[in-house]
Structure 1
C-alpha cells in the first residue's frame, strides 16, 4: 500500500511529516513525501514532485533521495499536510479536489478548504463552548461593537492566520484599540486617501472581534484528534510578557492531564469533523471553551512526545488505516 503525504517542503520536514512517515513505514506501507506546490497534470492525471521515504527523519530534516514525479492515482491514500502558496492556492486545491474523486484522502479537500478557518467555530462548536464573536471587514462596525461594552476585554485577530499572527488583546478602553481594528481591516480610510479615492482597488480585510475568555489565563491545552478519538495532548504555558501561548510565540509545552469532560468535548467535535471527511486535526481548549482549530498540518504530536515521552504517531497511523479499511 502506498501513502502520499503532501507537505510544504522536502528541504525542511515538519513534525508530522517526519513522525507519520515513520509510523506508516513501520506498519508496512510505502510512503512518498511530495511537495504540495508542485502539483501538475499530464493529460489530467495529477502528479507531484516527491521522494520515496527509506529512512526515519526528525523535524527540520531534508528528505534524502532522488526527486521524481509520482502520480496521485497510483497511491492508495493521500494525506494533505501542507498548504498551497497564495499564488497557486486556487489551482492546487482544485486539482486536489479532482484527484480526490478517484483516490482517497485522509482529510477531505472540502473540509480543509472550508473548515480550516476561525469562521467554522460557530458551526463546529456548541454555543456554550465558544466565545461570542463578531466578524466583519468594516472597521466602523467592529469599533462600534467594542464601544458598546466598555467593561469587556476582547481579542482581535484575522480569521485565516495561525501561529499567533496578529492576535491582539484589547483591554477595556484601550488607547490603541481603534488603530488595531483599523489595521486588521485593511486601513481602508487611509488607503483610500492615499490612493486618491480608492483607485488602488479593494483593500478591506476581515477581522474577528472575540470576547476575551478568562479561562485562557489558566493555560490552554492542545489536543490532537484522530478518527474522532483523542490521541495526544499537552499544555501550553504562555510567555510571561505575552498573552499568547503559541509555541511559535514563546509559549512552552508542558505535561498535563485531560479530564473526562475535556475528552468528551474534543471527541464530540472530532465526530463532527469526521462527518465532513476530516480524520486528523487538533484544537486548543481552555475548558469549557474551544479557542482554535488546526486542520491543515496541526502541531501537537511532537510536543506531546517531548513532554510525556510517549510517541502517539503509531496510534494515529493505526486508526487511519483501520478507518480506510472500513470504507
Structure 2
C-alpha cells in the first residue's frame, strides 16, 4: 500500500510530515513526501515531485530537508493521499481544484471540500454547539464592528482575522481600550484611509473581514490542544501563554505542558470530531478551554510532537491505525 503526503516544502519539513509518514511505514506502507505547490497534469492525470521516506523511524526532524532526488509521482498510483500543507496564494485555486478532481478517484485522509470550507473560523458556528463557543460578530465593515464593541463597553473582546493561524493578528481588546478603534480599522483593511489616499477608491476594493469575539475568561487558566483522528481523541497537551502575551500558541512563546482530559472534554472533542468526519475530515486539532472550543486546525495541525515531548508517548502510530482501519473498506470493495 502506498501513501502520498503532500507537504508545503521538501526543503523544510513540518512536524507531522515525518512522524505520520514514519508511522505508516512501521505498518508496512510505502510513503512518499510530495510537494503540494508542484501539482501538475499530464493529459489530466495529476502528478507531483516527491521523495520516499526511508524505512527507518523518525528519519527527519521539523525544519529538516528531505534528502534524495526529486522524482515524479502520479496521484492515481497511491491508495491514500494526505494533504498536510497549504498551496501558496498565487496557485491556491488551481492546486485545490486539481486535488479535488484527483480525489474523485483516490481517497484523501481529509477531503478537499472539508479543507476549503471548514478550515476557517467562520465554521465555528456550524461545527460547535452554541453553548460551547464564544459570541462572535463578523464583518468587513469597520463601523459595524466598532458599533458592536461600543454596545458593550464593559466587556473584554478579542479581534482577529477569520483565515489565519499561529496567533497572527489576534488582539485582546480591553474595556474602553484607547487603541480599539485603530485595531479594528487595521483588521478591516483601513478602508477609510485607503480611499482617501487612492482618491475615492481608485486603488480598488480594500475591505478585509475581521471577527470581534467575546473574551473567554477560562482561557486565562490555559488551553488544551486536542488531536482527533477518525472521530476519536488520540493526543493532547496543555498550553500556557507567555507571561507578556495573551496568546498561548507555541510559536508565539507559549509552553506545552502535560495535562489530563476529563470525560466531558473528551465527549465534546469527539462530538465535533464525528461531525467533521461527516464532511470527510478524519484528522485535525481542537483548542479547548472547557466548556469552550477556542479554535480548530484541520490543515496541518501541530500537537503530536508537543504531546510526545511532554508525555513521552508517541501517538502517531495510533493515528495511522485509525486511518487505515477507516479506509480499509474502500480498498477491499
- TM-score, length-normalised on structure 1? 0.99
Q: Which runs of 5 or more structure 2 residues have no equivalent in the other structure?
A: none
Look up the match of 1:142.
Answer: 145
Aligned residue for 1:268, secondary structure, equals helix
Look up the match of 1:169.
Answer: 172
* Of 263, 279, 282, the match for 1:276: 279
- Residue 65 of structure 1: CA displacement? 1.1
- Residue 59 of structure 1: CA displacement? 1.5
**Whole-Å separation in 1 of the counterparts to 2:155 and 2:220:** 15
Look up the match of 1:15.
Answer: 15
**Whole-Å separation in 2 of the counterparts to 1:218 and 1:291:** 13
1:259 counterpart = 2:245? no
* Of 220, 224, 235, the match for 2:223: 220
* Of 117, 122, 125, the match for 1:122: 125
The count of residues paired between Structure 1 and Structure 2 equals: 327
1:91 counterpart = 2:94? yes
Deviation readout 1:273-327 (Å, 9 max, x if unpaired): 0000000000100000000010000000000000000000000000000000033
Look up the match of 2:321.
Answer: 318
Structure 1: 4+ residue segments shifted above 4 A: none
1:29 counterpart = 2:32? no
Aligned residue for 2:196, secondary structure, equals helix
Look up the match of 2:49.
Answer: 49
- TM-score, length-normalised on structure 2? 0.98
Aligned residue for 1:152, secondary structure, equals coil
Deviation readout 1:161-217 (Å, 9 max, x if unpaired): 000000000000000000000000000000000000000000000000000000000
1:305 counterpart = 2:289? no
Look up the match of 1:104.
Answer: 107
Look up the match of 1:192.
Answer: 195
Look up the match of 1:5.
Answer: 5
Look up the match of 1:288.
Answer: 291
**Whole-Å separation in 1 of the counterparts to 2:50 and 2:15:** 18
**Whole-Å separation in 1 of the counterparts to 2:140 and 2:32:** 41
**Whole-Å separation in 2 of the counterparts to 1:58 and 1:180:** 38
Q: Which runs of 5 or more structure 1 residues have no equivalent in the other structure?
A: none
**Whole-Å separation in 1 of the counterparts to 2:329 and 2:48:** 28
* Of 71, 92, 103, the match for 1:68: 71
**Whole-Å separation in 1 of the counterparts to 2:126 and 2:306:** 28
Aligned residues: CA RMSD: 0.5
* Of 239, 243, 249, the match for 2:252: 249
Look up the match of 2:159.
Answer: 156
**Whole-Å separation in 1 of the counterparts to 2:192 and 2:319:** 49
8 A contact 1:22–1:57 mirrored in 2: no
Aligned residue for 2:117, secondary structure, equals helix
